[in-house]
Structure 1
């Protein structure tokens, strides 16, 4: 399984959003995508997921056109849990949309509740869950579809710092267990370095690949990795690159973000 993006461009009306992006991701890799806010990261994921078509260039997921295949499972920024459905029935939604019976879907999803830290909450409503548990449910809904590629768009962006730290460690352990290919958008540089095998840096809009970094740190990674010279060196260089890209966003540009290019702080959440 491989994701192969070649010379990808995407325009909306007369606005060029993606400008010749080329990228390869191999089976079992964890790749983080970072770049200035509004540069087109979510647009890129929509194209890889087959939710939209490129203006030019090509995308192949497992050799197939993503608009006519089903290799990807996409987790958007918000958990999008339906308040009227139980947690179990929220996690089965993707399977039901694919045509699986509710009974079969529930049986498959139940097997993952312990792994995802949700055992005992099958009949609860989303309003009864903490933010971290809601994200676990959304991730379970994504993973249970058994797709080869997981697309995660800022999965922990709305969480508080402590919960986010816990969720990062949990995601690392789940990924190591299942070894799906993961592409993750994040604005958090430290999160990207902590979790990923590679970090892809996009330029300001129109987005191009500015640079790729290989994160050659041993796994599993714990908090001690954050203070290693290798980690600090990669983090510093990424901060400098994004700072340079932010200078390309003019104040009159409607895509200009209202926050800095990356978050920094305590622990792996930065």
Structure 2
């Protein structure tokens, strides 16, 4: 990749960082494409390689469907903007920093973290039994999802310890009365995780709204399906899904790679 083609405000960043910026901007646009947005109030982050523990998050106020690589803000684990240019224009969501910094500090394996506030995700988060194995999508998370109790808007940095403790070694968590949180070892995996979890929640809300008794597969079947999903989880599969997803947003103007 030719560094000379980067926006002037981002001159000096590495080709690897620019690639991550482009992929993360694409993920923002995919979240918008699937209508998983809550105006400007949710957030997606990606860890940058290197010893400094920097990560990228959205510039507060930019709509997800218009997100560009140059709109992403590089911050450290203390919330400080660490990039060239006028940092007064590079504001980030304080609650987003709390949630995402907690995960990036404790889980170096999770390169990308996605947080959503969809109607279906919030609805399931408010249901006492949480995510039910009502669908094949939901079975992916059978025995593999965490829960975190609602503590108010995530502005208290002390909540980070509790978020991390509740997440444990899982890659997906339901934030009670709030929304959904997933992580992935790559941006492609994070997209796949949030896609499957959002579909599972939407199916649950639809099934429970029908007013008829629902069928839950037996434990053995749910556990078998979860293991099938686990065995199929690999970089090749996620890359195939990611490449297909990118074709949904390739005609966006301005280009997410700008």
The TM-score with structure 2 as length reference comes to 0.29
Higher normalized contact order (CA 8 Å, seq sep 6+, divided by chain length): 1
- The structure where strand makes up a greater share of residues is 1
- The structure where helix makes up a greater share of residues is 2
